[in-house]
Structure 1
Amino acid sequence: MAKIDMGRSRFKIQRRLGVELPGLGKAGALERKPYGPGQHGMQRKKLSDYTVRLIEKQKVMFNYGLRESQLRNYVKNAKKIKTASWVDTMIINLESRLDNVIFRLNWAPSTPAARQMVTHKHIKVNGKTVNVPGYQVQPNDVIEITDKGAKSGNYLQAKVRPRISSVPAFLSKEASGEKEKAKMVSKPLAEDIPFAFEKRLVIEYYWKVK
């Protein structure tokens, strides 16, 4: 089986969607070719309403590294909460995922790398190892990286070349010996989503989902 160049694949995804998705880890996807991949990438054609909505949904799916079925579950769960816009609730829940939190702390170069760190038991929450990437981090939870995790290639790469320039306001971190310790100081806001995003289009795409 031919080896897949994941860096190139992630560039293609971002060019096709017309936006840089930090969670994919590769910066600069739109710098040299600010258009979609393939021989028709430079051709501008009018997109159908469905395609425009699909693209907006795919931004969310790819940035957080989810399958369609997983994203639909987030939509369904968010719609059960009547106190706020369901799409805001969905974003807050996605930003609260442990793998996303690890990425946003610049402890991993991408969301897939952060997920790997979690599943390899390199992360502790409130002193206990958590190996579920979708674990919902709550305000006042303390997040730590294990000694083994601090020596991992993902962590060391993120320290040398952080993908995101600053840690979002809902997180804080400080030195803890040769490592770092972090805390979720508040719930994320819908505005914390780290890429250009139109809520209305995702609402329209999933309007039938209950």
Structure 2
Amino acid sequence: MSKRQEAKYKIDRRLGVNLWGRAKSPVNKREYGPGQHGQRRKKPSDYGLQLMAKQKLKGYYGNIGEKQFRKLYQEAVRRKGDSGENLIQLLERRLDAVVYRMKFAPTPFSARQIVNHGHILVNGKRVNIPSYQVKDNDVVEVRAKAKNFAIIMESIQSGERDFPDYVTVDTGNFKGTYLRAPNLADVPYPTQMEPNLVVEFYSR
């Protein structure tokens, strides 16, 4: 198991939030952090709030590496418009995020794995790069050989999440269309995300 996959069992408790809104989250039983000092509460500094906002956003998308996340921030700042909204749009255009939104995978971690293993097609071509930026009206589908995988079938039939309105999904054919990049308010985060604090963190 990779370090990223191991992290998903700890990140909820460390941040004190049910990051993916899952019933299995340890925060549902223990809202305090891990370790002997986990129950101590102190008011975080501005830096602490910014750092936590960054960790929540990185963690939500499968614990993205720092180097890759910083690149996304730099691209978000380079583009016109609100940098925080730009960052969310770039994250939501990642192929592994789109696979997760279309419910072809139960978690962002498994979505990354499914993409890495070459089980996803974009406009009919196999793409195995999780960070691949999906464009408006791109068609994303599960390869024929993978449509019978239990993890994919169970995920798409699960009532745990709904499809956001910026994707359409043909569940019978395991195929969907990415309609547009969402605004922050459109993204169904189970917990509050603050990309503006992430921008402040990097712009210090």
Asked whether the two chains share a fold, i.e. TM above 0.5, the reply is yes
Deviations 1:134-175 (A, max 9, x none): 11111111111012221234313424546x520111001114
Deviations 1:54-89 (A, max 9, x none): 1110011111121111110001111111x2111110
The runs of at least 4 aligned residues of structure 1 exceeding 6 Å deviation read 3-8
Q: 1:184 aligns with which of 178, 183, 191?
A: 178
TM-superposed deviation, 1:8 = 7.4
Q: 1:109 aligns with which of 103, 106, 109?
A: 106
Task: Tell me the TM-score normalized by structure 2.
Answer: 0.88
Task: Report SS of the residue matched to 1:22.
Answer: coil
Q: What is the CA–CA distance in structure 2 between the aligned matches of 1:47 and 1:100, rounded to whole Å?
A: 30
Q: 2:28 aligns with which of 27, 31, 46?
A: 31
Q: Tell me, yes or no, if the aligned pair for 2:156 and 2:171 is still in contact at 8 Å.
A: no
TM-superposed deviation, 1:132 = 1.0
Q: What is the CA–CA distance in structure 2 between the aligned matches of 1:133 and 1:7, rounded to whole Å?
A: 15
> Identical aligned pairs, as a percentage?
36
TM-superposed deviation, 1:12 = 2.3
Task: Tell me the TM-score normalized by structure 1.
Answer: 0.85
In angstroms, what is the RMSD of aligned CA positions?
Answer: 2.4
TM-superposed deviation, 1:5 = 10
Q: Tell me, yes or no, if the aligned pair for 2:73 and 2:87 is still in contact at 8 Å.
A: yes
| Amino acid in structure 2 at the alignment position of 1:76 | Q
TM-superposed deviation, 1:4 = 8.5
Q: How many residues align?
A: 201
Judged with a 3 Å threshold, the aligned counterparts in structure 2 of structure 1 residues 186 and 200 are, in CA distance, closer, same or farther, namely closer
Task: Report SS of the residue matched to 2:132.
Answer: coil
